[in-house]
Chains A and B, each alone.
Chain A
Amino acid sequence: GQQLNQSPQSMFIQEGEDVSMNCTSSSIFNTWLWYKQEPGEGPVLLIALYKAGELTSNGRLTAQFGITRKDSFLNISASIPSDVGIYFCAGRGGNAGKSTFGDGTTLTVKP
C-alpha cells in the first residue's frame, strides 16, 4: 500500500523561529493535505494542494506540492505558542478512495 514518510517526528523550537516539515512517498499523489491536531480534538485542515508545483499560503503557513507529486512540505514562519500541536500530511491518490496519512510531526513552541 501507499506509505508516507513524515519528518521530523518532533520539533522543539523557540517562539519566533521558522519551522519546516515535509512528507515524502514512493507513490504519486493527486492531492496533498496538511492538518493540525490539538489534544483531544479532530484534525483541522490547514492547506490543500491540488496541482504539482502549487505553492499555497494560509497566514503564516506555506505549503508546496512537489513537482514529482511524491512530496510536500509545510513551513510555519515566526512561530507562536498556539502553533503547538501535531501536524499531519495526507496524500490522496486517484483510485484508493482514501487519504494516506503521515505519522505526524509534534511541534512544541517555547515562549
Chain B
Amino acid sequence: AQSVAQPEDQVKVAEGNPLTVKCTYSVSGNPYLFWYVQYPNRGLQFLLKYITGDNLVKGSYGFEAEFNKSQTSFHLKKPSALVSDSALYFCAVRGLSYNTDKLIFGTGTRLQVFP
C-alpha cells in the first residue's frame, strides 16, 4: 500500500534560518509525491510535486523539495524561513487505484518560525 511518513510532529526554526520538513514514502512503482500547506482555519494549498525528471523540485513561496530514491525521501526545504511560513505541512503520495487521483496524506508537521 502507498504511504508517507512525517517523523516530526513539530519543527521550530528561527526566522532567516534554513528549514527542513521531513517526509519518507513507501510505494510500489514510481511515486507521485506532493507537499501541501495548511494555514490556520484554511484549506490545503498545493506547494509542489514530484512526478518525474529533476530530483530538485521548486514550488510556491520559495519552497523546494528533493526527491531521493535511495533514501525514499521527499524532504521539504527553504533556504531562509519567514514567520509567515508558520503553518501545518502535509506530505502526500498518489494512490494507484484505477480511475482515481486519490492522495494519501501524512500526519502533518507543524512548522513554527519564530522572530
State yes or no: do A and B come from one complex: no
Interface residues of chain B, those whose CB is within 8 Å of chain A, are none
Interface residues of chain A, those whose CB is within 8 Å of chain B, are none
